[in-house]
Structure 1
Amino acid sequence: MVFEGSSAAISHTGKVRSNNQDSGYAGANLFVVADGMGGHAGGDVASSIAIHRLENLDHAYPSTMDAQASLQAAATTAAGDMIRAVKDRPELAGLGTTLDAIIMVEDYAVIGHIGDSRIYLYRDEALTQITTDHTFVQRLVDSGRITPEEARYHPRRSVLMRVLSDMDADPELDMFVMPTQPGDRWLLCSDGLSGVVDEAHMLKTLRLGMAPGRTADGLLRFALDGGAPDNVTIVIVDVGGQHPVLSGSATIVGAAANPQGIVIPAARPARPSWLHPVRQAANEPTHFEPAAQYLEELIEEDHRRAVRRRLGWLAGLVVVIALMVAALFGGYAWTQTRYFVGSDDDTVVIYQGIQQNLGPISLSHVYEDTGVRLTDLPSFDRSVVSSRSAGFGSLEEAQKMVDRLRSSAETGKKP
């Protein structure tokens, strides 16, 4: 069962955003994370609406079917609340939120999920992702177009295909029921954690066996160390068997915890200058819910981007190869400006090039067979010519040496 004090909820703005659009809830039977979106204030409103609508579900249920029906009905009502909020405040148009909720019913967990926040289960020293992201990149992964590792850094990783919002009065949640076991630890989090901290580091923290609050603090620290570009919300609940109704107040964090209610900050106009151009605000929406037909357009765009990337790599490779060929050709051309004196089987020869070879490639060739016989040369001159150690910078210098060798050979012939 879930004992008093065996759950925790924390939420942090992160290191980049100026406000917290996430909300979290940890109660007696209900545990929720909502990651809001919709511009300067819309995300705050959306996640707060979701939490305040669902908190009424924090009570005992006669069956898991009753809990599922209540959870779906509450999500639908929350969507209606968002639609009405936009009618009253048109500046909030386009607001929405992810939603991950667990209702504990006896020894079962009733789970509702929409968006890219996640639910993990830590059991028997292993961490398992229970929910599947409703994102564009997840569909690319499911279709085999990209790998899960590529999805972590994909430029479209924050594009949501399903979300609780003012654009859908009948949201479709993934709903399922899982049995719990003594020792289970459930982790609900926004993508401010899962998008920065990989499962290996999550597992490292969970294996320390600390209390839920300290564990949540450790996970948050990893997110902050990773730059925390988004809001981070974490809810942890430990299970020890059949779940009773508990007394005590719930923990609400993030935007929904604002004691003054939902506050809509006034937008501040940007003042660009040539020294300080306008940059995209850190708290502008990074998610949106596209129309159904937009998926194929995104996939086609991703295909074009992949093709452009491959063409770019190919062009770069061609340039590198061309530079290498040019360098080799230039080096070879330089070697052909050099000359040295050597020998073939029995005569003195002038070679064009240099004495060294490049692996099996010879960097010299016979330029002129002088006709001077090696046997007519003094022993010292014969050894110099045979070793090909007489190199010169020009043909004229090589010919002067040949003239000297010819004179030595003729002198050696005289009686």
Structure 2
Amino acid sequence: MKILIVGAGGREHAIAWKISQNEKVNKIFAAPGNAYNKVIKNCENINISATDDILKFAEQEKIDLTIVGSEELLVDGIVDKFHEKGLKIFGPDKKVAMLEGSKAFAKDFMQKYGVKTAKYKSFTEKEKAIKYLEEMSYPVVIKASGLAAGKGVIICQNEKEALEALDEIMTNKIFASAGDTVVIEEFLDGVEVSILSITDSKVILPFLSAKDHKKIFEGEQGLNTGGMGVISPNPYYTKEVEEKFVRDILEPTLKGIKEEKFDFCGIIFFGLMIARGEVYLLEYNMRMGDPETQAVLPLLESDYLELIEAAIDRKLENFDIKWKNSASCCVVLAAGGYPVKYEKGNIISGLEKFENNRDAKVFFAGVKESGNNFTTNGGRVLNVVSVQDSAEKAREVAYKELEKIQFKDKYFRKDIGLIK
């Protein structure tokens, strides 16, 4: 089989790594990919990123399956265009992708089908949003409705901060057109849980739970990032929490998918909050999370390609997903200054120590091949992942192994996986 993986980060490297374990796969193309093509057998980068170029390449190369990591392309309608040409692709069409592409659309869907979520309202006019703030108690959450690379959420502690956030989003356009509509919702104080899942529109099969660490500094302080590390499974995801998630979120979501006649095979990522003894849905993502994927896929015992094919064939109800009885810890190595201003092009040393390393795996997030060297090429550079018998051991080994990697201004959080 020829597989095309669309995207450029650590998530795509993890997907390529897992897919490559299936003996049917003899060629993987990455569009545009990154330097991970140098560490995965029979993997080739294709320097394209626009939907029409990707579609043309898939036709010319007779690609058997395309897997999309990028939320932007899903919202842009890449799946629709592939289907029009009769090409096999894994992911939601443009209509369904709006569950991630528009927070306002997603919240309205949640409300319509009784998915448990925070109280909210959506606004396109700043004056009306300001008026609504008068009804809210603080803290309050203000979100850019559109895609903002995981950074479009501002928690405001008081009215002054809320008014400043509205100014930044709706007037100064710090998130560009993503902020044309804002969602204002009540703040839920609790513990977050990430649940990746797969669906064929008839059933939704959840993956192992995960806990992401979004802020740049220890103790969840500072600016939001794309994610600084993950552990799986999430220790807060108890049997009781799971039951509430299935009853109050998963089942109503599936009901909505069926009633809206959303016909797709793909990933649904549930961003949950455990608060006040209940489980709430914060958001949907319609693709694998990053860096959750890098922590969850190494725990998957089942064949990932077979799982995807079962979804495409609408046979998920017969698929029993197998998981390792282990725990994983993924620590992100970032460039100093991320998520604001950071250097690219710094030489990375020590990666050769992971070629046959049984203790830890490295996924390339922002890495470029420069001559005989690997160099930094993004804010999040590498993901170091360890799978062990316990969460404590996975954390210990991940932090020990990441010391083998060096590059200028290397930065990482030291509290990934620490549980209060």
Please classify the TM superposition score into its range, dividing by the shorter chain length.
Answer: under 0.3
Looking at both structures, which has the greater relative contact order when contacts are Cα pairs under 8 Å and sequence separation is at least 6? 1
Q: TM-score, normalised by structure 2?
A: 0.23
Q: TM-score, normalised by structure 1?
A: 0.23
| Greater share of residues in helix | 1
Greater Cα radius of gyration, structure 1 or 2? 1
